[in-house]
Chain A
Amino acid sequence: MIEGTTVIDFHGHTGRWDYYDMNDDATTMLHTMDAVGIDKSCLFHIFYPDSTPGNDITAQFIGRNPDRFIGFAYISPLVPENILPELERSINVLKLSAIKLYSPYTPYKLDHPIWDPIYQFAHDRELVVIAHTGNDLVGTAFPEQLGNAAPRFPNAIFVAGHAGNAEPCRSQAIAAAQRSPNFYLETCSTFRTPGVIEELVKKAGADRVLFGSDTPLMDPRSQIGKIITADISDEDKRLVLGENARRVLKL
């Protein structure tokens, strides 16, 4: 907690990515969260294309520290027949709270119809869908693609992970947020460009920006530092650090 604000990290992972020194050791993750006042972190597992094993790992991880971690379901269209059953299982049985998409691990752009059953599910249940966005090599994760989907499913909350990361994708993400009231921007990024948080808040509105860190790929202390050291008001920082997340996750 920071000055009365419950801080929620909206972007994190379960699992290991050893070649980047990523390891979901809960003790270390909690230590880094506690060092800067992060109350809860949202986590998902993106390394199983059939989704099910990763979601089980996430649910087990969350179950060991349910007060500190929130689980999101990872859903991939690489096994299309598994989309709806895994959504039902993840949300109804595993009690995961939102949906994570990672289109660079697929050949499908985020506005391809293959994603529509996921968006429809989120719309029907008023759930959050957070998708990786950025200028990836295969061109499937542009924010404007996610932005094309958002108006068609107005009861879902669409979150551009990394807020597009860098230009020109960042401007696409901002434009999508300006067009659609159900489109949000999440802040974690290794591209810590000067003024980026200020730009997101100014152009999209502080009520549409969500703090994220990418823990344990990146240390949440450096990523929350982007918010704390940004030239924005304390009121805006409170929204970005946790109040927006509490609202969209209905906590």
Chain B
Amino acid sequence: MASLNFKATVPVFDANVGVGHRYNQLAPFEDPAGLQEEMQRHGVERALIYHAMGENISCITGNEELLKWVDNNDAFTPQWIASSTADSIAQLQDLHADGRVQSVRLFNTEVMNVPFADWIFGDLLEWLSAENIPLWVSFADTPATELMDTLRRFADLTIVFVGSHYSHSLVVQPFLRHLPNAHMEVSRFENVDALQRLKQEFGSERFLYGSFYPRWAMGPALFYIHHIGLSEAELTAYCAGNLERILQGSGRHD
């Protein structure tokens, strides 16, 4: 029975939260406490966070800024943004040497006019594959054709694609079929009954809740997946379990 109010009924680990101000937009929260207040309002216990500076400006600076958010805070798990440059890969390798890299996120290539091609990103993708580090990529910010053409050459790489939209409805299923190690974050994918159809075809291990907050509101997608007929075990997997498994390096399905 629906209610006028909502809070998650299972533990929630948000797979897609940006922190810090974007170069052109102030974040709705100033500090970790502000973000946690919004998380608590919806029943979100933990979040995988990246710094917005890394999306369009500098992954190096963004990752340095991110350190201020994750130190001494168990609610947040850092996600480092990557570029194709030697400086970026060196930064990630240093962080990895300290045991701090559980996932990496591609910067917004489309708006920066950088093709996501293996002749540009090959070194990064080879390193991630070798170290079994999953890569987050945004359908909203990198063309799907580039993602497919490049990622299918790195079959060992675990991928989470985020931000798919109803305009990607003809793309999502082929993407999941052709990339068996790809997972889908569901923040903005809201074709009618589509999540149920995807679960029927691909099972419940390849989907995870992320909000894409603060680009999008934190609550609606969480409310949505609580009302699509998932069993409690499936809901728990969507809301936290699948993400935990991927971050532990156990995201491969091939």
Contact = CB atoms under 8 A, between A and B. Distances in A.
Interface of A: 2-3, 5, 19-23, 28-29, 31-32, 35-37, 190-196, 215-226, 228-231, 234, 237-238
Contact of B217 (A31, A37, A192): A192
Nearest to B194: A21
A235 to B, nearest CB: 10
Minimum-distance CB pairs A-B, first 3: A229-B219, A225-B223, A37-B2
A5 to B, nearest CB: 8
A32 B193 contact: yes
Interface string B211-254: 00110111111111001110000000000000000000000000
Given A21-B170, A192-B216, A229 B191 contact: no
Nearest to A230: B219
Contacts of B223: 221-222, 224-225, 228-229
B1 interface: yes
Contact of B192 (A36, A215, A238): A215
Nearest to A235: B4
B76 to A, nearest CB: 18
Given A194-B214, A225-B223, A3 B191 contact: no
A229 B5 CA distance: 7
A219 B166 CA distance: 10
Interface of B: 1-6, 28, 38, 41-42, 165-167, 169-170, 188, 190-195, 213-214, 216-224, 227-229
Contacts of B229: 35
A226 B220 contact: yes
Contacts of B42: 229
A251 to B, nearest CB: 20
Contacts of A36: 2, 227
Contacts of A5: 4
Nearest to A5: B4
Contacts of B228: 35, 221
A219 B228 CA distance: 10
A155 B229 CA distance: 44
A35 B227 CA distance: 6
A218 B191 CA distance: 5
Nearest to B213: A194
A121 B8 CA distance: 47
A225 to B, nearest CB: 3
Contacts of A216: 192
Nearest to A31: B193
Given A21-B194, A196-B217, A231-B41, A222 B224 contact: yes
A125 B5 CA distance: 37
Contacts of B38: 194
Nearest to B224: A222
25 contacts: A2-B2, A2-B3, A2-B4, A20-B166, A21-B169, A23-B192, A32-B192, A35-B2, A37-B2, A190-B190, A194-B218, A195-B217, A196-B217, A216-B192, A218-B192, A219-B190, A219-B194, A219-B195, A221-B224, A224-B2, A225-B219, A225-B223, A225-B224, A228-B3, A229-B42
